[in-house]
Structure 1
Amino acid sequence: MQSKSLDFRQIEWWIVTTAILTAFLFILFVYRPQFYNDSGQAIFRFSSRLLILAILYGAFHLIHMVLIPMFQKESNKWPSIIWIVLTGMVSFGVAALFGYTAQLIKAPFPAFLLGIVVLYVCYLLAAHVLSQALTPPKVRDFQLYNIIRLILGYIFTFLCLIQLDPIANNGPSIIFGIFLPVIFIASLYNFYLVYGKRKVGLIKQSRWYNWGLMAVILIIFLIISIEANQEEFFFVGGLGTIAFIQLIFFPLTSLIFKKYDSYIGQIYSLSTQVNQGNASMDFLRSQINPHFLFNALNTLYASSLMENAEKTSDGIQKLGDMMRFMLHENQLPRIPLSREINYLRNYLDLQMLRFGAQANLETDFQINENQCAGEIAPMLLIPFVENAFKHGISSKEKSWIRLNLRCISGSVHLDLVNSVHPDKPASEQSREESGIGLENVKNRLQLVYPDRHNLNIIPNDTDFFVHLSIQL
């Protein structure tokens, strides 16, 4: 309520629908004719009441939910204006014809409908003034605007029901004007003073508010019964009201409040988990980016010492592509899979600039980009490949790295196997283990693809095997 405006068009539709439905039910139960005993005029009057209500509700729905949004959206306003006028004229004519013929109104002019139209126009103007005066940036938030407009919408509906008294009598307006506000106030009383106090452990205060309300109700009914000189009114009305509140109304509303508190708690818990997940992902990314920049710069430095300028310039170009990727696309929640694969190719090319001339290294890179469509969270494939270069290459022993990347039916699959050299020098081992581990990417996979990925890591004495599949 504080952060944004409510969807008042839908709220207004629901309020008016509830009011019209109440009027329909009142007519059905109060004016329902006995079709075998009542005269044809009584049946016609009954049908006319229902027909007029249906026509008015249809006109409201068409104007409020279709034509006014069309008027606000379209640049050419005249078609919407013409349709609004035609709808008003048709509903006006039907109400006049059936209202006068069925003797629901005394003159062939439906004054009640004119009153509803005036009320509706006044409500739209008042809503516009409120939106101009009580919404940001003129006020801090939408809270006051939402509250006042909700009250205004309820008052508009109540006044419209009063205008419909010739059609539905005063029953629906009494329900909306007395019973609903009483139920609403009693619900607030229970939520804040009875249920609310009991929820925070203030049992004694909750009981005082509960029985204090019962005492006030008894006093009111006692005064009314004395004024009317009807003792049964006190016993039937007062005690019956207290029994209804204690046995039905308060237990039912308290159950609803408990469900509401449970849902709010679940939403808060989920929001906390999402915030923690976003913070974790930001932290993981902050760990990943410096590592790759450091690794790539070391590769270029070694290449500049051992190779000619042509290869170095090619490496610099690939490094530039990688840096642009990390500065821009790596900050996005999703990127095209083709960009992730392109980054992977650049990484492999840079590493081969460094290790490609090593005689005891065997590499086999198979990247099949066919059917590789869709988007993926960035930097999910590289850590496994980087781990293979960190731990799979030895300057003295035979080494191998085999990579197979393919896409099948909306999923990407990575198979990677590298040699293992447990007898690497301690200084080299500690230096190369200073980068990120595989735990980071495991955490990211759990956050982004909790039920849509499969990761198998199988180490042994000679090989380190990784299989990763992600359902995009």
Structure 2
Amino acid sequence: MKLKDLKRIEFWIASVLLLIVALVLVFDTNKRSDNGEHYEFIVSKITYSYFFNFFLPRLFNISTIYLCFLCLNFWLIPSIINKKNELLSYFLIIMLMVVAGIVFGVSRTHSHTYELREYNTLTQGYNRFFFDAFTKAFLLVLALSAYTCLKQLIIYIVDSMEGESAMQKQLKMDLALGLGFWFAGVLFWIGTGSSYQLTVLWTLVMLAAIGLVIYSLYYLLPELYSKQKKFSTFFWTVFLVSIILTLPLSVLAVFFFQRNIDAAFILLAFHMPTQMLISVPLSWFLYKKRLESRAEITTLRTELGKSDANLHFLKSQINPHFLFNALNTLYGTALQEQAERTGEGIQKLGDMMRFMLHENLQDTIPLIREVDYLNNYIALQKLRTSPSADIKIETLIEAEFRGLHIAPMLLIPFVENAFKHGISLQRPSYIKISLQIQENVLYFDVCNSINPKNEQDPEADRSGVGLANVKQRMSLLYKDRHDLIIRENVHEYFVHLTLTL
């Protein structure tokens, strides 16, 4: 996804959320569902107005959050990252924080006026209100800035993957996903109004988990796997590493919890279960899955290499230039000797070879070229069987195809099979071939007599290979667009193919 498209999606999501919240506030005017805040005003004997004490403060707050998101995400933070007007951007961020703090503070003085009675003086109350408001504004700007920076980091990681090894790309993706998951949790705790200590615990535990997973996937597990170690070795190694990490994490937790030693025990209660029950199984599962994927890819590459080698070997057995030159020489000799039938056969054979060496490599070809190949093959077979009066070959093939295309060599196996098993030079036999087009549907019929197999023919037992191949190709290329009917009795073999082109 391009950055421009992502920004467009972000803008519309934020705008729709703002509109939904605004509409909820508007439609809620008659219900006066203000979470019971008006009762606090009544108890404090302060005049209450739903519009001024609830609706407007909420509307100003959500509008301020929306505008902060737009300014930071689309303008100020990108300007700092791209090093454009950095000083101005920093100044505007500070001003944005101040304005947001003022809006939050003024809104609270209207929505929570009754709380002012809890303070000794109004000045003390207002100071507390605005201190909390500026703290909220600071955290809001910090969270939105962190979101924008993390988004830019992930985009940078993805864009910088070109030209890198697969392991480097995977490492960056794993790191980006881990940081994204951690930051989503931070936004969740801030959005639900949880204490900052909970956010700190989440950060310490999750960053430790991300580090352990990365360490396991890219160093520990490959090392243990090369030594054929079992899961138990991996488990106890991570357990030991987690114990070692407990010391620096506990020091950080005590520091953020205002030097409360209980924070170390709280951290331990979350840290060890998370690493043992989540990080260890997740690392093991991901590594095993990736090993299976790599093994499968290696197998596929090996098979593909074998297929390519076989294909190149087969191609190397035939020199097209030599064959065409030889056919041209034979064709010229036949004309000089006035052997017209021989010359005609050589010419058709050359056309067939040119088709097989060139057009047969394409995904689809014009239907007229497939039919030309078919006609050349039939003509050559007629030359071979013409001395026998007991062999009848009837063809009804249309000549107009209106630019239709077909996969190459799709029809010829049925005709080859008919000539292979339907013609006998010792007994009466026949072949009937029909090809018609209605709109974009092809109707192809091949009917032939059945003769006993010639035991001297080395190809006698290989007749099913071509038909099996063409059936497989049709199931892949024309799935749900073809209907193949094959019937056989003692004296006759019949094929009917309906194909939507």
- Does the TM-score normalized on the shorter chain lie above 0.5? yes
Partner of 1:109: none
C-alpha distance after superposition, 1:157-213 (max 9, x if no partner)? x99xxxxxxx99998x98998676444323324545777758965234213212203
* CA distance in structure 2 between the aligned counterparts of 1:98 and 1:455, rounded to whole angstroms: 75
Given that 2:436 and 2:442 are in contact with CA atoms closer than 8 Å, whether structure 1 keeps it comes out as yes
Partner of 2:265: 235
Q: CA deviation at 1:252?
A: 5.6
* CA distance in structure 2 between the aligned counterparts of 1:194 and 1:382, rounded to whole angstroms: 58
Given that 1:365 and 1:402 are in contact with CA atoms closer than 8 Å, whether structure 2 keeps it comes out as yes
C-alpha distance after superposition, 1:102-153 (max 9, x if no partner)? 3789xxxxxx89x98xx99xx89x979x97xx966xxx86876897899899
* CA distance in structure 2 between the aligned counterparts of 1:271 and 1:213, rounded to whole angstroms: 38
* CA distance in structure 2 between the aligned counterparts of 1:440 and 1:382, rounded to whole angstroms: 9
C-alpha distance after superposition, 1:317-348 (max 9, x if no partner)? 43343232112111223323332122111221
* CA distance in structure 2 between the aligned counterparts of 1:412 and 1:289, rounded to whole angstroms: 34
The answer to whether the aligner puts 1:214 opposite 2:242 as a matched pair is yes
* CA distance in structure 1 between the aligned counterparts of 2:305 and 2:474, rounded to whole angstroms: 13
Partner of 1:462: 491
Given that 1:311 and 1:353 are in contact with CA atoms closer than 8 Å, whether structure 2 keeps it comes out as yes
Partner of 1:76: none
C-alpha spacing 1:355/1:193, structure 2 compared with 1 (3 Å) = same
Partner of 2:432: 402
Given that 1:391 and 1:420 are in contact with CA atoms closer than 8 Å, whether structure 2 keeps it comes out as yes
Partner of 2:393: 363
Given that 1:49 and 1:168 are in contact with CA atoms closer than 8 Å, whether structure 2 keeps it comes out as no
Q: CA deviation at 1:54?
A: 4.7
Secondary structure of 1:359's counterpart equals coil
* CA distance in structure 2 between the aligned counterparts of 1:329 and 1:216, rounded to whole angstroms: 67
Given that 1:12 and 1:153 are in contact with CA atoms closer than 8 Å, whether structure 2 keeps it comes out as no
- What letter corresponds to residue 50 of structure 1 in structure 2? I
Q: CA deviation at 1:437?
A: 3.2
The answer to whether the aligner puts 1:336 opposite 2:356 as a matched pair is no
Partner of 2:465: 439
- 1:298-313 superposed matches below 5 A: 309-313=339-343
* CA distance in structure 2 between the aligned counterparts of 1:144 and 1:244, rounded to whole angstroms: 27
C-alpha spacing 1:258/1:150, structure 2 compared with 1 (3 Å) = closer
Secondary structure of 1:325's counterpart equals helix
Secondary structure of 1:362's counterpart equals strand
Q: CA deviation at 1:245?
A: 3.0
C-alpha spacing 1:218/1:149, structure 2 compared with 1 (3 Å) = closer
* CA distance in structure 1 between the aligned counterparts of 2:174 and 2:277, rounded to whole angstroms: 31
Q: CA deviation at 1:365?
A: 0.9
C-alpha spacing 1:415/1:384, structure 2 compared with 1 (3 Å) = same
C-alpha spacing 1:375/1:279, structure 2 compared with 1 (3 Å) = farther
C-alpha distance after superposition, 1:221-254 (max 9, x if no partner)? 5656888764422322212321233345544665
Q: CA deviation at 1:404?
A: 2.0
Partner of 2:83: none
Secondary structure of 1:394's counterpart equals coil
- What letter corresponds to residue 212 of structure 1 in structure 2? L
Given that 1:449 and 1:470 are in contact with CA atoms closer than 8 Å, whether structure 2 keeps it comes out as no
Secondary structure of 2:457's counterpart equals helix
Secondary structure of 1:364's counterpart equals strand
- 1:64-213 superposed matches below 5 A: 99=100, 102=103, 181-191=207-217, 202-213=230-241
Q: CA deviation at 1:284?
A: 12
Given that 1:135 and 1:142 are in contact with CA atoms closer than 8 Å, whether structure 2 keeps it comes out as no
Q: CA deviation at 1:44?
A: 5.1
C-alpha spacing 1:289/1:46, structure 2 compared with 1 (3 Å) = farther
Secondary structure of 1:422's counterpart equals coil
- Structure 1 gap segments, 5+ residues each: 1-6, 29-33, 65-87, 106-111, 160-166
Partner of 1:417: 447
Secondary structure of 1:464's counterpart equals strand
- What letter corresponds to residue 422 of structure 2 in structure 1? G
Partner of 2:62: 47
C-alpha distance after superposition, 1:74-104 (max 9, x if no partner)? xxxxxxxxxxxxxx9xx99x97997597378
* CA distance in structure 1 between the aligned counterparts of 2:392 and 2:36, rounded to whole angstroms: 98
Secondary structure of 2:363's counterpart equals coil
Secondary structure of 1:326's counterpart equals helix
Q: CA deviation at 1:361?
A: 1.6
Given that 1:336 and 1:376 are in contact with CA atoms closer than 8 Å, whether structure 2 keeps it comes out as yes
Q: Which moved more, 1:237-246 or 1:405-414?
A: 405-414
Q: Which moved more, 1:320-329 or 1:50-59?
A: 50-59
Aligned residues: 397
Secondary structure of 2:389's counterpart equals coil
Partner of 2:43: none
The answer to whether the aligner puts 1:380 opposite 2:410 as a matched pair is yes
The answer to whether the aligner puts 1:327 opposite 2:357 as a matched pair is yes
Given that 1:420 and 1:464 are in contact with CA atoms closer than 8 Å, whether structure 2 keeps it comes out as yes
Given that 2:204 and 2:249 are in contact with CA atoms closer than 8 Å, whether structure 1 keeps it comes out as no
Q: Which moved more, 1:397-406 or 1:44-53?
A: 44-53
Greater relative CO, 1 or 2 (CA 8 Å, sep 6+): 1
- What letter corresponds to residue 395 of structure 2 in structure 1? F
C-alpha distance after superposition, 1:363-419 (max 9, x if no partner)? 211224667865433223223312322332233422211112235675544322222
Given that 2:200 and 2:253 are in contact with CA atoms closer than 8 Å, whether structure 1 keeps it comes out as no
- What letter corresponds to residue 372 of structure 2 in structure 1? N
Secondary structure of 1:445's counterpart equals helix
* CA distance in structure 1 between the aligned counterparts of 2:486 and 2:316, rounded to whole angstroms: 22
* CA distance in structure 2 between the aligned counterparts of 1:223 and 1:54, rounded to whole angstroms: 34
Given that 2:205 and 2:271 are in contact with CA atoms closer than 8 Å, whether structure 1 keeps it comes out as no
- What letter corresponds to residue 211 of structure 1 in structure 2? F
The answer to whether the aligner puts 1:430 opposite 2:457 as a matched pair is yes
C-alpha spacing 1:440/1:388, structure 2 compared with 1 (3 Å) = closer
Given that 1:335 and 1:378 are in contact with CA atoms closer than 8 Å, whether structure 2 keeps it comes out as yes
Q: CA deviation at 1:435?
A: 10
Max Rg structure: 2
Given that 1:417 and 1:464 are in contact with CA atoms closer than 8 Å, whether structure 2 keeps it comes out as yes
C-alpha spacing 1:460/1:389, structure 2 compared with 1 (3 Å) = same
- What letter corresponds to residue 321 of structure 1 in structure 2? D
